Each structure stands twice: as C-alpha cells, then as structure tokens.
Amino acid sequence: MELIHDFPEHFQCIITSKRNIGKSFLARYLVYLLIKENPKRFSYIRVFSNTAHINGDWSFLPDEYVKKGFQDDVVQTILKFQEKKVVEGGQESAPSCLLIYDDVIGGRSDD
C-alpha cells in the first residue's frame, strides 16, 4: 500500500475526530500494515487502551503488548530505557518503538 511506504522511519501520528468515526479501526489497520510490510520495523510496541480487553481490537498483537488503560509507570520505564540507549550509543542506538493511546484520552480506566 502506497501510504505505508510514505511513512518515514520515525514518525508521529495523531488520529482525531468525533466519536464512532473509525479512529481505532484506522489505527489498527495502519499498525497491521506497517508490521506486515516489515515485521522488524519496531523493536517493541505498546498499546494503551481502555477498551481492547473488552472488544479484542488489538488481538493481532501479543497480549503483553496491550495494556489496560494508560499506565504511566510503563511509559516512564520506556522513556528511561530509550534515554539510556541514546546516552550509551547516540540517537541511532535507541530501539524503534511504537506507542499507541487508543481510547485513553478523555476517558478513564476501570482498574
């Protein structure tokens, strides 16, 4: 798919619109295509979602990649790990990661 080939190696993407338009569907589809095109593109992936455990939206990813709700401790661990890698070997030594926040902004997690 041409769109996937146009994504730079390092990118940021925000998908926003009103409710029930398909934001989560689009995000899943893009991630699926990126992984299908190059399974080693991301060293690791973490999805934070208040709904994935209910609807199985991210079931094509291993369970350990999908976290219920936003988990600040996980994000802080990732940031510290990335920073350590950059300090040790420069920007290029940091593993590529994909962080997805799906249905966590403006909502709450029922822990």
Residue linked to tokens 């997805």: 100
Task: Give me the tens of pLDDT residue by residue for the chain, a chain 111 residues long.
Answer: 566 777 787 788 888 888 888 888 999 999 999 998 888 889 999 999 988 888 888 999 999 999 999 999 999 999 999 999 999 988 888 889 999 999 887 655 444
**Sequence-ordered alpha helix ranges (H) in 1-109:** 2-6, 23-37, 52-55, 72-89
CA distances for 15 relative to 11, 87, 102, angstroms: 13, 31, 10
Q: Is this structure's pTM higher than 0.85?
A: no
